[in-house]
Amino acid sequence: GAGVSQSPSNKVTEKGKDVELRCDPISGHTALYWYRQSLGQGLEFLIYFQGNSAPDKSGLPSDRFSAERTGGSVSTLTIQRTQQEDSAVYLCASSISPNEQFFGPGTRLTVL
Amino acid sequence: QKEVEQNSGPLSVPEGAIASLNCTYSDRVSQSFFWYRQYSGKSPELIMSIYSNGDKEDGRFTAQLNKASQYVSLLIRDSQPSDSATYLCAVNMAHTGFQKLVFGTGTRLLVSP
């Protein structure tokens, strides 16, 4: 596709349930990033994938959060046992270099 | 001190005026600097990148970089109501191995007709 795509665009779940968020980066982009943005707040870095290297997980807020990237392309961010404080917009970005990142439209997660 | 600092605003300017958005950063050896525009409810969109000291112009936008002062700015000439958005400054920093961008919290710009 022409840009980064994410699905679903909106997700409403109940506290304690697991959710999976998907990101499909721009074709040929080797780097993929996940961010979280709470209402009115800045971007919070979560995790970074670069090619076949081990991912940089330094931003994951707890062990309930995990992500994988299969075949160097599509990535899935999984949140287990969701809590209300997990409610936010989850943004994925991809890039050829670490510099110019291009963002997807985001997934708005609401935990009731 | 935050790694990337921006005034949260809002910065209010009348239509046709110059809007000046400022950003300071803590890492003296940072190499790459970016401005993203984020409309309400939308994802960030890259509008400018700058890598060396001085000015870089693209249409109505000018990015200015002063590495000695650890300062980067974005000027928007002939501001339009459609420029009303939050502008995020992002810096590629050494402590991340230059592998990640560190974002400021953004400056909200309001352009009144």
- From CA B24, how far away is CA A27, in angstroms rounded? 33
Q: Please indicate whether, in this complex, the C-beta atoms of B100 and A56 are within 8 angstroms of each other.
A: yes
Q: Measured between beta carbons, which residues in chain B are less than 8 angstroms from residue A99?
A: 32, 34, 49, 92, 101
Strands B107-112 and B11-14: parallel
- From CA A93, how far away is CA B101, in angstroms rounded? 11
Listed as ranges, residues in chain A with pLDDT below 50 are none
- From CA A71, how far away is CA B20, in angstroms rounded? 43
Answer yes or no: are the C-beta atoms of B20 and B72 closer than 8 Å: no
Answer yes or no: are the C-beta atoms of B61 and B87 closer than 8 Å: no
pLDDT digits 0-9 by tens, A71-91: 879 999 999 999 999 999 999
- Residue among A50, A101, A107 with most chain B CBs within 10 A, to mutate: A101
Gap from A104 CA to chain B (nearest CA, Å) = 7
Report the 10 Å Cβ neighbour count for B36.
24
**Residues above pLDDT 90, as percent of chain B:** 80
- In the block, which residue shows the tokens 């112009």? B57
